[in-house]
Amino acid sequence: MLYYESPEALVSWNEEIKTVVLEWKRFATRDKYQVPLNKSLELLIAKKSSKAIANTLKFSAITGADQQWFSDVWFPKAEEAGLKYLALITPEKAVARSILKKLDSTLTGSYATKSFDSLEESVDWLVMK
């Protein structure tokens, strides 16, 4: 079920595995970066889900300020809302992979995250959760 769409991202609900799916389509900064993330948080809360997929295959670099917002604002809200499992589909671009690895290392809490090369692999992992 499609929940939100913009030129930068799609947010949907996978009913089969009860998971929020955020798919980045291109580079995004500030509100164009934050809105899809906030929409995915809304959906996580509405569906009372503990699982999410971040399809970052087409993801690009993000500013330091956006990284800080993700770590300090968005992620704590997602964890408070019940996020326990986050599957990441590895970005094509090396700079994006580096940024996501750095972001993941700064996050603390009681969640599990794992990177995958495909959507199918991430779904297989989440089915077991």
If one counts every other C-beta atom within 10 angstroms of the C-beta of residue 66, the result is 20
Q: Is the pLDDT of residue 27 over 90?
A: no
The mean pLDDT value of the chain amounts to 92
If one counts every other C-beta atom within 10 angstroms of the C-beta of residue 31, the result is 11
Q: Is the pLDDT of residue 56 over 90?
A: yes
Q: Is the pLDDT of residue 53 over 80?
A: yes
Overall average pLDDT of the 33-57 stretch: 97
d(CA 43, CA 1): 11
d(CA 23, CA 51): 14
Q: What is the pLDDT of residues 86-117, one digit of tens each?
A: 999 998 888 888 888 877 777 777 789 999 99
HSE (side-chain half, CA atoms, 13 Å) at 41? 15
d(CA 125, CA 129): 7
Q: What is the predicted pLDDT for the residue at 107?
A: 77
Q: What is the predicted pLDDT for the residue at 2?
A: 98
pTM above 0.95, yes or no: no
Q: What is the predicted pLDDT for the residue at 111?
A: 86
What domains does the chain contain, in order, with CATH numbers? 2-127 (3.30.750.24)
Q: Is the pLDDT of residue 29 over 90?
A: no
Sign of the alpha-carbon dihedral angle for 17, 44, 39, 24: negative
Q: What is the predicted pLDDT for the residue at 92?
A: 87
Of residues 67, 73, 74, the one with CA closest to residue 105: 67
